[in-house]
Amino acid sequence: MSEIITSENIFHSESRVAPLRLLPMRGTEELTEKINHYLTSWAAGSFYAEDTFIVESDCPRFSSGDGKGIIKSSIRGDDLYIIIDVGNYDCDYKLFGRKNAMSPDDHFQDLKRIIQAAGGKAHRINVVMPLLYGGRQHRRSYRESLDCAWALQELQAMGVQNILTFDAHDPRVQNAVPLMGFDNVMPTYQVLKCLFRAFPDLKADRDHLTIISPDEGAMNRNMYYSSVLGVDLGMFYKRRDYSRIVNGRNPIVAHEYLGNAVEGKDVFIADDIISSGESMLDIAYELKKRNAKRIFTYATYAIFTNGLDTFDKAYADGIIDGVFGTNLTYRTPELLSRPWFHDVDVSKYIAYIIAALNHDMSASVIIDPHEKIRQLLADRK
């Protein structure tokens, strides 16, 4: 029977798969350092104690854009965890003398290069990819590609045994690789902990708080928040113009609300991605028309592709009171400096899961945070 993992017994189990190694891809150095800090502190004083679990690597490119993957130390017989952020557009390279920002395609190609460099040497290859490559192109309409499914099958064919992702746009993409380990994790506890710390006067009960789903696709994650907090749930659904495509999607005509009155109540809205933020702000303005008190929005990946000006204005006008996002993907220094943005650190959570996988311990208690949320609410009371 698998042992339940804790920080006390995490490196005192004899069931380790192989020596642990972390390999950060470009743009994940800060996150990997935090993960490594937890793992080395837990390992201190045990047989597995090391100064660092990090393995250095590089993916240099020629001026023509061609590249290669290099691992700078031995990984033979190791349990390798490659950490990658395919959404980090702050990374760049020279292409025919011009600076070229790395796209998700560039990051994914570098991941495959590193896997090739590790092939036949590492005992096991695992990929920690919080923002799932191609995750927004998870299903086919008419003559379209299936990017996410194909990428997962490609990684499986290259020898990857486990993929760890967070809040996948549609976790059913794992059906493309039913024989490969695929964990889709939700950082619900970390988000609520950050929310209550930032707004200690927030009352998480049915009379003072309502959870709102921004659309039908986000219902599952918002239903979970509603269930663990014991508060009401409402939903907006998007009426789209399916006769046109703008910026790769059918434009939204209107947001329609289904649910109980929100007058005088705080509102929490959760989604996987804030891209342009247009949809989230439309909902916030609609809720203010219904006399909602404070509005808190959360997205696992707060990428803000169209800049921050509209959110600055909404905050200044009292429409939104806080926006929460995780450190699982790149956030600009400008975003981190905003008074309305709250950064949710998920590095310790990742460290727990990596340690569980490395020691063949049960990760079910880690992945299901219900008990920790219950204790968090009990402590507040």
pLDDT tens digits along 6-25: 555 666 666 788 999 999 99
Instruction: Answer whether 335's CB lies under 8 Å from 308's CB.
Output: yes
Which of the 8 DSSP states describes residue 252?
A: E
Instruction: Read off the amino acid at residue 86.
Output: V
Q: Return all residues near 204 (Cβ < 8 A) that are at least 6 apart.
A: 196, 229, 230, 231, 377, 380
79-83 and 124-128 strand pairing: parallel
| Tens digit of each residue's pLDDT (9 = 90 or more) over 180-197 | 999 999 999 999 999 999
Sorted by sequence, the CB contacts under 8 Å of residue 225 that are 6+ apart come out as 188, 192, 211, 268, 270
Task: Look at residue 369 and tell me whether its pLDDT is greater than 70.
Answer: yes
Q: Six-digit token pair at 152?
A: 């997962």
For the purposes of burial, counting CB atoms within 10 Å of the CB of 199, is it exposed (0-12), middle (13-18) or buried (19 or more)? Answer: middle
Predicted confidence (pLDDT) per residue in 21-43, tens digit: 999 999 999 999 999 999 999 98
pLDDT reported for residue 257: 84
Confidence of residue 224 (pLDDT cuts 50, 70, 90): very high
Q: Would you place residue 63 in the very low, low, confident or very high pLDDT band (cuts 50, 70, 90)? A: confident
pLDDT surpasses 90 at 314 = yes
Q: Measure the CA–CA gap between 286 and 305, rounded to whole angstroms.
A: 22
Burial class (CB within 10 angstroms; exposed 0-12, middle 13-18, buried 19+) of 213: buried
Confidence of residue 249 (pLDDT cuts 50, 70, 90): low
**How far is it, in rounded angstroms, from Cα 350 to Cα 353?**
5
Look at 178 and 255; give whichever has higher pLDDT: 178
Say which residues have a Cβ less than 8 Å from residue 378's Cβ, sequence separation at least 6.
Answer: none
What pLDDT sits at residue 2?
43
Residue 51 burial by CB count (10 A; 0-12/13-18/19+): exposed, middle or buried? Answer: exposed
Nearest to 317 by CA among 285, 349, 272: 285
- 3-state class (DSSP) for residue 181: strand
> 3-state SS of the chain: helix, strand, coil percent to 5?
35, 25, 45
Q: Are 354 and 128 in contact (CB under 8 A)?
A: yes
